[in-house]
Chains A and B, each alone.
Chain A
Amino acid sequence: MNIIACVKQVPDTEALIKAKPDGSGIVEEGIKWVMNPYDEFGVEEALKMKEKFGGDVTIITVGPPRVMETIRTALAMGAEKGIHIDDPSLYGADAYATATALAAAIKGIPYDIIFCGQRAIDDDSGQVGAVLAELLGIPQVTIVTKLEVADKAVKVVRPIEGAQLVIQSPMPCVVTAQKGLNEPRYASLPGIMKAKKKPVEVKNAAALGITAESKAKVVKTVPPPARPPGKIIEGDDPALKAATVCKLLREEAKVI
């Protein structure tokens, strides 16, 4: 089985994110970069699938030189090889441009299934997996919490509001991973050592034969709207404080 897992490097969830004063992006100094947590579920599922059915796992990412570290992390977890698409025209690219680059890289290699995270926790767009599936002309199953493979098809569980859907899709397809799909493994020390020797191809846009043009652009990055200062309801009696807050919610906030 030829398995592909697309990953993105993002700021750690612990990171304080600050908009630059001129609104041109975020302050990147001091940020710890990690593999997008949803992509980790995708990589883990890819590895589990390889262990069950044989084959190999290829990791693909788009980004500046620093993202090589994220490819190495996935290789240390057990993937076989990597493709790093590095082109300044793709730094901060939108979903369409990113998926165009991924599709161009994937078209040259055999694949049975492609994993992506259901969204990246930096831009929170949640589009790349589906756009990639469209560009490759294959089906998508998104935000998946369970996956089984049988007869060249996947059967997945996808939670929606108030229900869970059981969906079947023929392979090849794109699966976008949601928390709950599995527990990603940690890279072992031998894994980390081996990862250093595994092959990673670096390609730019020209090598892929694409020109990247983002159609959705963040023109301004701003801090979240400020919240007015709150009030602490003073007193010793929990019942009285409970009554006060309920009254405020009813009469001042008018939300109950």
Chain B
Amino acid sequence: MGKGVWIVAEQREGAFRKVSFELASTARKLADQLGEEVSAVLLGSGVEGIAGQLGKYGVDKVFVADNAAFEPYTTDAHAAAVAKIVKENDPSILLLAASAQGKDLAARLVGKLATGMASDCTDIKIDGGKLVAVRPMYAGKCYGEVVVSGSPQMASLRPNVFPVVESAKAGAVNKFDAGLDAAALKTKVLEVQKETGGTIDVSEANIIVSGGRGMKGPEGYGILEELAGVLKAAVGASRAAVDAGWRPLKDQVGQTGKTVSPNLYIACGISGAIQHLAGMSSSKYIVAINKDPEAPIFQKADYGIVDDLFKVVPEMTKECKKLLAE
């Protein structure tokens, strides 16, 4: 069994994604309990300059490989590089983000490193020197505690769940050669189509304002977008709304959509089908607004309002604007 808690930091266009700091902070906590060091792998093109930022969140060493082949992300290039440096250093624990990129990379690494991984964890601890990962299963209808007997013990962490904690360490930069074999880079990103309007993805939002069948149609979402705008929130949707074509698929929250854990989830006109509840009941606070007092969503809600959402939501927008201006 190796030593050291490692993370794979995630950056896009030369800036760390927040989840990288969540990974670093969590790794620090685990490493302190084990009496080990925290190391990070950083891949990209022209990213050496940002590597040191990880020191602020408890990273002792950053292993940086700089190569044009790392941008944009491809599984082939990133998995080969991470597997190489991890095999050379034999850490005990390897953490990645359960982001779009992290999920793709982490799963390939499970194959390359011939180990096991707990995916999309919401809690993680050390027990008897071993990693114990806690993760929602069945979209959150129950939780599993997972122990990994392979090496390294891998886990991917759900973004926005683990706190960012400052803890100054060296963040010493070690450059390494990823030894990429051009012939092994088989997939190619032909195009990156960015979404316009700077909307926040539901999987990364601190606050989600979500609408269901009660929105009555796509135009109903206007009031949710206004409230979301004030709260810097993402707009989510139930499966009913997505299947009706009112909202894009990427906004769907639930068992066949995204499972989310924001600080605040405001459910508007969502009755609370079991698949939807599974996908959002790990939110820290839940507000439900629904005309039907019997709607199952109220059983999960911290605060409930039984009323017409078309009357309540615009008033909330006004009130939030006022409160946030104070």
Question: Interface residues, chain A, CB within 8 Å of chain B?
Answer: 11, 13-19, 26, 37-38, 94-96, 99, 121-135, 139-143, 145, 155, 158-170, 173, 179-180, 214-225, 227-228, 230-233, 238-239, 241-243, 245-250, 253, 255-256
Contacts and interface: CB of A to CB of B under 8 A. Distances in A.
A249 B110 contact: no
Contact of A121 (B139, B150, B263): B139
A22 to B, nearest CB: 13
A77 B154 CA distance: 37
A256 B208 CA distance: 12
Given A26-B142, A123-B137, A245-B287, A161 B203 contact: yes
Max chain A CB contacts within 10 Å: which of B249, B318, B319? B319
Contact of B103 (A142, A165, A180, A222): A142
Contact of B75 (A139, A179, A221, A255): A139
Query: DSSP class of A's interface residues: helix, strand, loop or mixed?
Result: mixed
Query: DSSP class of B's interface residues: helix, strand, loop or mixed?
Result: mixed
Max chain B CB contacts within 10 Å: which of A135, A180, A231, A246? A246
Given A163-B195, A255-B264, A255-B284, A246 B116 contact: no
A159 B281 contact: no
Given A14-B274, A230-B304, 14 more contacts: A13-B256, A13-B274, A18-B142, A139-B186, A140-B75, A159-B100, A162-B201, A217-B148, A227-B286, A238-B315, A239-B315, A242-B316, A245-B316, A255-B207
Nearest to B19: A161
A54 B217 CA distance: 41
23 contacts: A16-B274, A95-B110, A96-B111, A96-B116, A126-B103, A126-B107, A160-B99, A166-B190, A170-B187, A179-B249, A215-B115, A216-B146, A219-B146, A221-B143, A221-B144, A224-B141, A227-B281, A230-B302, A241-B312, A242-B305, A242-B313, A246-B320, A256-B207
Nearest to A99: B111
B192 interface: yes
Contacts of B203: 161
A245 B148 contact: no
B319 A246 contact: yes
Q: Which 8 A-B pairs have the closest CB atoms?
A: A134-B111, A216-B116, A215-B116, A130-B107, A242-B315, A215-B150, A160-B100, A17-B141
Size category, B interface: 35 or more
Given A96-B150, A121-B256, A233-B304, A166 B108 contact: no
A127 B114 CA distance: 12
B138 A11 contact: yes
B167 interface: no
Given A233-B305, A256-B207, A164 B255 contact: no
Contacts of B187: 139-141, 167-170, 173
B136 interface: yes
A43 B13 CA distance: 36
Contacts of B250: 159
B166 interface: no
Nearest to A145: B249
Nearest to A14: B274
Given A129-B107, A160-B101, A256-B207, A249 B285 contact: yes
A170 B185 CA distance: 10
B22 interface: no
A218 B191 contact: no
B148 A216 contact: yes
B199 interface: yes
Contact of B72 (A37, A139, A165): A165
B201 A161 contact: yes
B20 interface: no
A6 B192 CA distance: 29
Contact of B117 (A127, A129, A140): A127
A124 B312 contact: no
B69 to A, nearest CB: 15
